[in-house]
């Protein structure tokens, strides 16, 4: 019961409002910043809306390691096995990297990675639409959002809340002041302000997702 009260308080407060605004921005095809994650935050946008501009931006402000969070079921459908055995592992799982099998050159450019991301989000994509290994990292996530959440979980939940295909591009943000480390939460929020991006905390996203699921179940 206390967990339900805590979730309701988050949803009614500014953190829940930030999550709603971030979901709206994602639905409109824009990037947002997610912070408050257990593994550091970063830039998130819908894979279905991936284009050259969004992808180049994510690569430029991150380590360049571009991931797409998908459901574990979808990864299985696309024959995207984990990079290492899942024995005893819980939480998001990095899968074999991919490139689109057609319409790309080397696979590493922003245009090529945007195409690969869109294919990962498309409902009718088949396993043969990808070559392996590649330059985009599919990450299998479960239904639950951890407490505290990892960026893959928060990104996947946020894109799901936007109403777009459940596939989220994300990249961990590098510190703007010290490129040898990842950005802190304060730096993530400051970066969002400087770039004119919406930002949302992982716990606010989790609370919004829980409330949305509860409403759908009740209905």
If pLDDT is split at 50, 70 and 90, which confidence band does 15 have? low
User: Helix (H, G, I), strand (E, B), or coil: what is residue 175?
Assistant: coil
pLDDT tens per residue, range 59-82: 999 999 999 999 999 999 999 999
Which residues share a beta bridge with 142? none
Full-model pTM = 0.90
Report in angstroms the alpha-carbon separations of 58 from 50, 69, 73, 93, 104. 10, 15, 26, 21, 19
Q: What domains are defined for the chain?
A: 2-218 (3.90.870.10)
pLDDT tens per residue, range 95-142: 999 999 999 999 999 999 999 999 999 999 999 999 999 999 999 998
- Please give the pLDDT value at position 189: 97
């Amino acid at each position: 019961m206390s967990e339900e009260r805590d979730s309701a308080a988050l949803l009614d407060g500014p953190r829940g409002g930030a999550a709603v605004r971030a979901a709206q921005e994602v639905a409109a095809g824009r990037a947002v910043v997610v912070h408050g994650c257990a593994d550091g935050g970063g830039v998130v946008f819908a894979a279905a809306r991936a284009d050259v501009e969004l992808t180049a931006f994510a690569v430029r402000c991150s380590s360049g390691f571009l991931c797409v969070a998908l459901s574990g079921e979808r990864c299985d459908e696309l024959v995207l096995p984990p990079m290492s055995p899942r024995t005893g592992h819980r939480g998001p799982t990095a899968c074999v990297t991919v490139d689109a099998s057609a319409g790309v050159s080397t696979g590493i450019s922003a245009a090529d990675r945007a195409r690969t991301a869109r294919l990962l989000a498309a409902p009718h994509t088949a396993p043969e639409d990808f070559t392996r290994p590649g330059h985009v990292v599919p990450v299998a996530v479960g239904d639950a959002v951890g407490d505290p959440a990892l960026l893959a979980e928060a990104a996947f939940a946020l894109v799901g809340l936007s109403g777009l295909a459940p596939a989220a591009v994300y990249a961990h943000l590098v510190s703007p002041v010290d490129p040898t480390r990842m950005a802190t939460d304060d730096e993530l929020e400051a970066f969002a302000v400087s770039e004119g991006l919406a930002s949302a905390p992982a716990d606010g996203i989790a609370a919004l997702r829980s409330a949305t699921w509860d409403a759908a179940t009740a209905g």
